[in-house]
Amino acid sequence: MSLRSIFTSSHHVAALCLAVWLSLVAAAQAQTVIERLVSPGPLSNAHLEVQKDCGACHVSFKKDAQNALCLDCHDDVAADIQRKGGFHGKSPDIDGQPCKACHTEHEGADFSIVKFDSAAFDHALTDYALKGGHSDVACKECHLSDKKYREAPSGCAACHNSDEPHKGRLGTDCQSCHNVDDWSQVEFDHSTTEFSLLGKHRQQTCKACHIDELYKDLPSKCIDCHNEDDAHNGSFGAACETCHDSNSWLKTAFNHRRKTGFALSGKHAAIECKACHTVTLFEPKLERACIACHRDDDPHKGSQGDNCGACHNENSWTRNTRFDHDLSQFPLLGEHRKAECGACHLSKRFKEAETDCAACHDEDDKHNGALGQDCGLCHNPNDWALWIFDHDSQTQFQLTGAHEDLSCASCHKKQKRQKVSQSSECIACHRADDKHRGEYGGDCARCHTTEDFKRIRYP
């Protein structure tokens, strides 16, 4: 093919394309003209801006497409329908209906495409149902003339800003305290704060504590409000709640055992706090030993230690005293159990009492001290006359023969207060019986026996 023929063919194609495009434009213009010619009437002022653009609301030969075009422009209504909220999403009369069922057009510029009867309108079909005091409010109080109905604010502060006494200090969530039935009735769950209202605190007005509308950083200690009610004048500190409660300031309840570990029993329960707590309730920390408070009452002058409770009780300092003498170094056995304390303890310094038998029984000693002071070697506390002493096992001198019937005093004649000692030589007792006058020494047993001194046993 020649260059000329190719050039000629290209011109033909371009001319053809141009002809097609011109024909389409002409058709579109013709369609617009036709649409204008067959238009049912002028649009309302609400749609005046699309007066010349029929395609903004209509698709040729597709009536069903019109609804989608409406919602494309009115996207806020589309959103309501999608979420099932607002009037268009909640009203059962709208569900599934095309927009034009309620909103007709082409009725003239002054025609209202919204058929709305405010008196018959059910506000419950919106996102803000009218309840309580709101049900009697005129529409214009919330819906301004230059705003759409849907643009009316729903926050309390938007309408009640002028009569809001807190001046914004508590934020805009008014319904957390107030209700729509009566603005003056306040319901606030104070337990959601760090200070729950209990007892008589529930009966107080808010301003009794929240002076000058102060709500944050308000002091919460009892003494902050009840300083003038403090009968202790601060001597018991600021923790009033340890004794008092919110039901009654005058009635006190303090579990001394649970709170301190020191139960107030007997006469301790009747004494005043300041009898022990002489400075403040908590300072200085009190000692719990009896002697800390009763040192002046101690007749033992500290000789019995600090544990007064081992003998005494809280009901009476002098009555029903108890002491287990068996746990001491001198258990009370036999007749000792019947003895009065004062019989042995001549003073209240009990530890000064001597434990030697002779200390109490010196006058009862028939041996006049010849057998020492350890009476317990022979006697026992059941009866002074009941005694037993095994000379054969308890000494190194066995009593045999005529020695068996001798009294103790026959040999033990001298007082020996500390330690009993007696010579075991025969001559110590039989020197007067020695016919030999010592010529044969002092060991009489070489010839004599204990059965009879006169009987001779030759070596």
- Phi/psi of residue 62, each to 5°? -140, 85
pLDDT confidence band for 18 (50 / 70 / 90): low
Tell me the torsion sign for CA atoms 147, 105, 47, 88: positive
Closest to 391 (Cα-Cα) out of 401, 382, 381: 401
Closest to 223 (Cα-Cα) out of 197, 198, 249, 252: 249
What pLDDT is attached to residue 19? 57
What pLDDT is attached to residue 451? 85
pLDDT confidence band for 27 (50 / 70 / 90): very low
Q: Write out pLDDT tens, residues 49-67.
A: 998 899 899 998 888 899 9
DSSP letters along 46-99, please? GGGGGTT-GGGT-BTTBGGGHHHHHHHH-HHHHHHHHHT-HHHHH-TTTTT--G
Closest to 175 (Cα-Cα) out of 132, 122, 123, 126: 132
Answer whether the bond into residue 165 is a cis peptide, omega within 30°: no
What pLDDT is attached to residue 31? 46
Residues for the chain: how many in total?
459
Cβ pair 225, 240 in contact under 8 A: no
One-letter amino acid for residue 368 of the chain: N
Closest to 74 (Cα-Cα) out of 106, 98, 91: 98
What global pTM score does this model have? 0.43
What pLDDT is attached to residue 38? 65
Residue 15 has pLDDT above 80, yes or no: no
CB proximity list for 274: less than 8 A, separation 6 or greater: 235
Give the percent of the chain with pLDDT over 70. 90
Cβ pair 67, 57 in contact under 8 A: no
End-to-end CA distance of the chain: 183
Matching residue, tokens 């005043």: 272
The encoded tokens of residue 4 equal 């000329």
pLDDT confidence band for 32 (50 / 70 / 90): low
Mean pLDDT over residues 222-229, rounded? 86
What pLDDT is attached to residue 78? 94
What pLDDT is attached to residue 1? 46
Q: Write out pLDDT tens, residues 374-405.
A: 888 888 888 888 888 888 888 888 988 889 88
CA distance 64 to 11: 44
One-letter amino acid for residue 268 of the chain: H
CB proximity list for 359: less than 8 A, separation 6 or greater: 353
Better-predicted residue by pLDDT, 106 or 432: 106
The encoded tokens of residue 167 equal 């001046």
CA distance 45 to 151: 20
CA distance 354 to 262: 37
What three-state secondary structure class fits 448? strand
What pLDDT is attached to residue 6? 40
CA distance 133 to 304: 81
CA distance 457 to 452: 10
CA distance 247 to 249: 7
Closest to 369 (Cα-Cα) out of 407, 406, 411, 414: 414
CA distances from 185 to 176, 205, 265 (A): 12, 11, 50
